[in-house]
Chains A and B, each alone.
Chain A
Amino acid sequence: MKLDRRTILGTSLAALTALSASFAMAEPGPWSDEPVRIVVTFPPGGTSDLVARLVAQYLDTEFGQKAVVDNRPGAAGTVAADFVSQQDPDGTTVLLANNAPFTIAPTRFKSIPYEPIDGFTHLAYIGASAPGLFVHPSSGITTLEEYVAFVETAPMTYGSSGVGSISHILGEAVDAAVGVESIHVPYQGSSPAIQDFRAGVLDSFYDMVVQNSDMIEDNEAVALAIASPERNPQLPDVPTFKEQGYDVVIENWVGLSGPAGIDPAMAAKINETVLAVFAIPEVRDRLTELGITHTAMSTEDYSTLVGELIEVWKPLIIAAGIAE
Chain B
Amino acid sequence: MDILASFGQGLLVVLEPQNLMYCFIGVFLGTFIGVLPGIGSMAAIAMILPLTFYLDPTPAIIMIAAVFYGAEYGGSTAAILMNVPGTPAASITAIEGHALAKKGRAGVALFSTATASFGGGVFGMIVIAFLSPSLAKLALSFGPADYFAVILLGLVAASAVSNGGALKGIAMVVTGLMLGTIGIDLTTGDLRFTMGIPELRDGVHIVIVAMGLFGVTELIASIRTNLKGKSDVEVDFDDLYPSKEEWKSLPAPILRGSAIGSFFGALPGTGQTIAAAIAYAVEKRVSPWRKRFGTGVVPGVAVPEAANNAATQTAFIPTLTLGVPGSPPMAIVIGALMIYGITPGPRLLTEQPDMFWGLVASFLVGNIMLLVLNVPLIGMWVRLLKIPYKYMYPTIIVLICMGVYSLNNNVFDIWLTLVIGAAGYIMRLFRFEPAPLLLGFVLGPIMEEQLRRTMLLSRGDPMVFLERPISATLIAITVGILIFGLYSTQRKRRQTRAAQQNSTGR
Contact = CB atoms under 8 A, between A and B. Distances in A.
Interface of A: 43-46, 72-76, 79, 108, 157, 162-164, 183-189, 191-192, 195-196, 198-199, 201-202, 322
Contacts of B142: 199
A192 B345 contact: yes
A256 to B, nearest CB: 21
Contacts of B198: 75, 79
Contact of B341 (A45, A73, A108, A202): A45
A45 B339 contact: yes
Contacts of B340: 44-45
B192 interface: no
B143 A196 contact: yes
Interface stretch (B182-190, B229-237, B379-387): B182-190
Contacts of B411: none
Nearest to B187: A186
Contacts of A72: 408-409
Contact of B186 (A75, A188, A198): A188
Nearest to A47: B341
12 contacts: A43-B339, A45-B340, A46-B341, A79-B198, A157-B456, A163-B186, A185-B456, A187-B453, A188-B449, A191-B341, A195-B345, A322-B189
The list of the 4 closest CB pairs from A to B, nearest first, reads A163-B189, A191-B343, A75-B201, A322-B189
Given A163-B189, A164-B189, A183-B457, 19 more contacts: A44-B54, A44-B339, A44-B340, A45-B339, A45-B340, A74-B201, A75-B198, A75-B201, A75-B202, A76-B201, A79-B198, A157-B456, A163-B185, A184-B456, A187-B453, A188-B449, A195-B343, A198-B140, A199-B142
Contacts of A44: 53-54, 339-340
A282 B144 CA distance: 42
B347 interface: yes
Contacts of B140: 198-199
A44 B141 CA distance: 31
Contacts of A108: 189
B459 interface: yes
Contacts of B409: 72
A184 B323 CA distance: 23
A163 B141 contact: no
Given A75-B198, A188-B449, A195 B339 contact: no
B333 to A, nearest CB: 15
* Majority SS at the chain A contact face: loop
Contacts of A162: 186
A187 B144 CA distance: 11
Interface in B92-143: 140-143
Contact of B347 (A183, A188, A195): A195
A126 to B, nearest CB: 20
A185 B189 contact: no
A166 to B, nearest CB: 14
Given A163-B188, A163-B189, A192 B343 contact: yes
A18 B184 CA distance: 49
Nearest to B446: A188
A163 B453 CA distance: 13
A46 B342 CA distance: 11
Nearest to B188: A163
A183 B456 contact: yes
A202 B143 CA distance: 10
A46 B339 CA distance: 8
B144 A196 contact: yes
Q: Which of A44, A164, A188, A199 has the most CB of B within 10 A?
A: A199
Interface in B136-167: 140-144
B157 to A, nearest CB: 24
A322 B140 CA distance: 32
A160 to B, nearest CB: 11
B5 to A, nearest CB: 24
Contacts of A43: 339
B202 A189 contact: no
A191 B345 CA distance: 10
A118 to B, nearest CB: 22
A199 B141 CA distance: 6
A217 to B, nearest CB: 16
Contacts of B202: 73-75
Contacts of B457: 157, 183, 185, 201-202
A75 B197 CA distance: 11
Interface in B334-349: 338-341, 343, 345-347
Contacts of B456: 157, 183-185
Contacts of B144: 196, 201
Given A45-B341, A192-B345, A195-B345, A185 B453 contact: yes
A189 B449 CA distance: 13
Nearest to B341: A45
A188 B323 CA distance: 13
A184 B185 CA distance: 15
A181 to B, nearest CB: 12
Nearest to B142: A199
A73 B338 CA distance: 14
Nearest to B459: A183
Interface string B215-254: 0000000000000000000000000000000000000000
Contacts of A195: 343, 345-347
A45 B340 CA distance: 5
Contacts of B53: 44
Contacts of A322: 189
B67 to A, nearest CB: 19
Nearest to B347: A195
A228 to B, nearest CB: 23
A317 B140 CA distance: 34
Contacts of B201: 74-76
A202 B54 CA distance: 35
Contacts of A163: 184-189
B408 A74 contact: yes
A73 B184 CA distance: 14
B54 A199 contact: no
Contacts of A201: 143-144, 457
A193 B47 CA distance: 31
Contacts of A191: 341, 343
A188 B201 CA distance: 15
A138 B54 CA distance: 41
A186 B449 CA distance: 9
